[in-house]
Structure 1
Amino acid sequence: MFITVCEKGSFAAAAAVLGTDASTVSKAISRLEKQLAYTLFYRSTRKLTITDAGQEYLETVRALLLDLDECEQRLQSGNDSATGVLKVNLPVSYGRLYIVPLLSKFVEQFPNISLQLSFSDEYIDIIERGIDLSIRTGTVSDSRMVLHKLSPMDFLTCASKSYLEEYGPIESYKDIVNHRWIRFRFKQTGKLMPILVGVDKTVEMLDPNGYIVVDDGQVLVDICRSGVGVMQGPHFLFKDGLASGDLVSLFPPIEPEGYGVYLLYPKRDFLPRKVAVFTEFLKTELEKMGEGANYCWSSEMAYLNEWE
């Protein structure tokens, strides 16, 4: 109850998750505080605020529960079966386009694993949230995590055939400044995703003037397919549109240093089998789609144009 109150921010919200009432949760926390002889929360009519003692207690009990979970996983692994609840956090677009279509196959292979999926492009602390593993796109740096690179992150510049027919071909990177752009804004920071261009085999950033801004990757692609403008984004956004012929890739992909698609989970002495089988399953399926730690299908495509 204490951990759930910390995560949800109120007795009422915690009670809703736990299937009880706010009074029961409040009384339980009060008993815990009496037992510890410490105040764990500052209470006001508007919100709960965790105290320093409460924060220290939270870190301790989370570590204890993690140790308990590892012990249970070790015991369960004796029969070489993958069981339990697997909590996975996914980027919105990558999760929709790549992971969701694989779920039926995973569930069929591992019927004793119950999946709990959350979707978010914002950075979240998966240890704090009690999440087993996460997939992140872009750059990742966290010494507490084990990282598996699933693929490079190629950035493609694309337009629909209808747009190119109406506004003419785009012969070089010099031309794209004069075109209407559809750009992605990060919800967490409010910043626009930079436009990357290849100049003398190096990567530079471009900031065109006229553009439409959205904060959803799938909407970004849908607008581009409708013939509104030119866009740039990671390879996984364009896979279906390029395969169907709705979109045209204008230039070879750009792979910024350090960028990729990563699977990550907390460092621990014993890796739960449910995490291990999901990791291996995903790597196997991505290989079938032409993606691996050091290669991506986009690098072998034919392009409308070559380098300037």
Structure 2
Amino acid sequence: MNKLQAMEVFVQVVDAGGFTRAAEHLQLPKATVSTLIQSLETALSVKLLHRTTRQVSVTADGAAYYERCLRILSDVREAEESLSRTRLSPSGRLRVDAPTGLASLVLIPALPEFFQRYPDIQLELGCSDRTVDLIEEGVDCAVRGGALADSSLIARRVGILEFITCAAPSYLDSFGRPGHPEELKRHRCVNYFSSRTGKIFDWDFARGNERVQLPLPGLIALNDSNAYTAAGIAGLGIVQMPQFMLEPMLRAGTLEQILADWQSDPLPIHVVYPQNRHLSAKVRVFVEWVAELFSNHPGMRLPKLAQAARPLTAELAL
């Protein structure tokens, strides 16, 4: 039995939901498809599929094996791409993870241009504010904002997040407008906590040589950027968020900037990916496209510093 061929057939049967359609797609006799699956189950001593007269469904073991097969077959294709002309026209499935705000407001609106360049890439974009495990969850690369810690991942810095402090007009009418960060201790603030550790993040401010970092009181803490914005608009308290996310609300007047003469430390944005993806044409062109996209965004443009890739992973995703 050709193990790689058997894996490809198994993946196709699962994707197609049956032997007949898989055989048609692969242009193989149905009997050959059935024999390869049986041989695979025999070699593994595991039942991969439930078969009835009406349908084929994957077993729990089969589902786990399916995910592994996807990764193995993807690695094989990427190894071939790295040595062939397909590097000039990357193709196949690309799994990316990105924070909700960055995905919805920056990445997704620009994707038509990406697909014009690379029409043969099928993008699977996961959007959440939690830090995914790229290896465990089979993600090719992730866009992350925040501090980085040493690990086996490769990271390329592609932009920065500039933060501003805002509140809804209804909140300011009720509680007043603070003139100094220390006055926030007497206000209500909407806090943000890490979905990975549960830690509520301190607020930081700088003006000239003066720096302030402090925890602040609040009625609510959230770990999703869209929910965080909604809490600010609802008047639940003062919010501090990336400028690119708040600009539409500032223009609409649903939020007003406060403490405008105080800045928060900007956070770097990186694209991170496992070391075994560094030769992947799909990952390479996506990282280059993201870097180009952010370089043209006034609120996220990286200063003229080196953007060399280095082994790192993100501690925080915003």
Length-normalised TM-score, structure 1: 0.69
Change (3 A) 1:67 1:207: same
Match of 1:72 in 2: 81
Change (3 A) 1:150 1:197: same
The answer to whether the 8 A contact 2:206-2:265 is kept is: no
Relative contact order (alpha carbons < 8 A, sep ≥ 6): 1 or 2 greater?
Answer: 2
1:21-62 CA-to-partner distances (Å, cap 9, x unmatched) read: 9xx99966642335xxxx9xxxxxxx979xxxx99xx99996
Change (3 A) 1:59 1:220: closer
Aligned mate of 1:32, from 43, 47, 62 = 43
Q: What is the CA–CA distance in structure 2 between the aligned matches of 1:139 and 1:289, rounded to whole Å?
A: 21
Match of 1:250 in 2: 258
1:274 offset after TM fit, Å? 2.5
1:114 offset after TM fit, Å? 1.4
1:162 offset after TM fit, Å? 3.5
Change (3 A) 1:288 1:61: closer
Q: What is the CA–CA distance in structure 2 between the aligned matches of 1:73 and 1:158, rounded to whole Å?
A: 47
1:193-216 CA-to-partner distances (Å, cap 9, x unmatched) read: 3333448533522232x4223332
The answer to whether the 8 A contact 2:131-2:195 is kept is: no
Change (3 A) 1:170 1:26: farther
Change (3 A) 1:236 1:189: farther
Identity of aligned residues (%): 24
Match of 1:302 in 2: none
Q: Which runs of 5+ in 2 are unaligned?
A: 4-11, 20-33, 47-58, 305-318
RMSD between superposed Cα atoms in Å: 3.9
1:293 offset after TM fit, Å? 2.5
Aligned mate of 1:237, from 239, 245, 249 = 245
Match of 1:42 in 2: none
1:152 aligns with 2:150: no
Number of residue equivalences: 265
1:176 maps to a residue whose letter is L
Q: What is the CA–CA distance in structure 2 between the aligned matches of 1:147 and 1:249, rounded to whole Å?
A: 33
Alignment of 1:1-308 (within 5 A): 19-20=17-18, 30-33=41-44, 66-77=75-86, 80-198=88-206, 201-208=210-217, 210-251=218-259, 252-255=262-265, 259-268=267-276, 271-290=279-298, 291-294=300-303
2:263 maps to a residue whose letter is P
Change (3 A) 1:62 1:288: closer
1:284 maps to a residue whose letter is E
Q: Which runs of 5+ in 1 are unaligned?
A: 3-13, 40-46, 296-308
Q: Give the match's secondary structure for 1:190.
A: coil
The answer to whether the 8 A contact 1:157-1:231 is kept is: yes
Change (3 A) 1:197 1:170: same
Q: What is the CA–CA distance in structure 2 between the aligned matches of 1:15 and 1:130, rounded to whole Å?
A: 20
1:67 offset after TM fit, Å? 4.7
Q: What is the CA–CA distance in structure 2 between the aligned matches of 1:269 and 1:170, rounded to whole Å?
A: 48
1:18 offset after TM fit, Å? 6.7
Length-normalised TM-score, structure 2: 0.68
The answer to whether the 8 A contact 1:180-1:229 is kept is: yes
Q: Give the match's secondary structure for 2:149.
A: coil
